[in-house]
Structure 1
Amino acid sequence: MEINTLTTISAAWGANLLSADVTPIVSRPKYKNVKVSYYDTAKARRVEVDVASGVTDVDSILRTVLSAANEGHAKQKAKSLGKESAREQGQGNAKIVGDPRAEPEALCALSGVAPGADGTYRIDAVTHDVDGEGGFETTLDLRQPQGGAGKDKRKPKAGKSDPLTKANNSALDTTAPGDGTAVA
């Protein structure tokens, strides 16, 4: 039996990336766990199912108001809401030179955009555009940042110190050396 795997699409500035607008961290509610309740007839009481969402940088819990029909339905509903929370952590779009291999649910490796924006995203939707002059462009709607997206990997340059330290900002010092008199 052959398993169909999705092709990761590379979108690199200077190669095939025409434009990009991504926000790797969106200030939407994120949940570490999702809790869904159902009524257990055998136990004659309401029972709650707790499922991890895959989001690890928060401690909040989503507790649904509406209950599920049974334990299986509650687990599936909690799992689905958890995936939605993980998927909505970031968003954006990228326009690349036409690539017919691009499809929803595949990954897009974005590079050369900006520190913190580069990384891997899940493709949510794909639009292929062909113009009358033979141009072919693919627009990728991106969600679910991963693989370093949202993290600035640049290191401070050697020998450079923080420009806001006292040693580097004597001009900002409003007192004369040693006597506490204000400098105009």
Structure 2
Amino acid sequence: MSAGWLAGERTELAAQRILDAAARLFADRGVADTQMADIAKAAGCSRATVYRYFENRQAVRLAFVHREARRIGAAVVTEVDGITDPGERIVTAVLTALRTVRADPLLIAWFRPADAGLAVEIGQTSQVIAALAAAFLPDSLAGERDRAQVARWLTRLIVSLLTVPGVDDADERAMLEHFVTPLFVRT
């Protein structure tokens, strides 16, 4: 490849171009089956260039997931803005996250049977995802440790519903209202 690949453009734009190429491959081939050489070819650069920005495949995966988690988090913030009832806020946040992921073929690919384990692993170890989930929790949860634990649990719940969906939106809402809402409503 030429030494001028993305010459004059900022480093961040180059990394985003690589992540965009990886996203298309994740959707087409599957997350587990996407190799660094595939990403380089799809991005129009050399493997060495990809490795300059990302240490390995896991780093590409993590960067992609974090980028998309921030985007989903922004959609959830918009959707829950003004909802003061803690139970409804959580139900709306979870349903918005589910709807946003399902609407994007580049994201839902992570929840195919062959790739769901990677999504679970990243979802449970990512501080970015835990922080985003914690942002929607009610202030009444005592302590940072409790918030972090509940955030990890909510992430696991969302991944579970993406991997094994309910019958329809109404079914998922009913399950969330029955099983999740009571955890956030103090009587």
Q: TM over 0.5, yes or no?
A: no
More strand by share: 1
When you count helix as a share of all residues, which structure comes out higher? Answer: 2
Larger radius of gyration: 1
TM-score band (shorter)?
under 0.3
**Structure 1-normalised TM-score?**
0.23
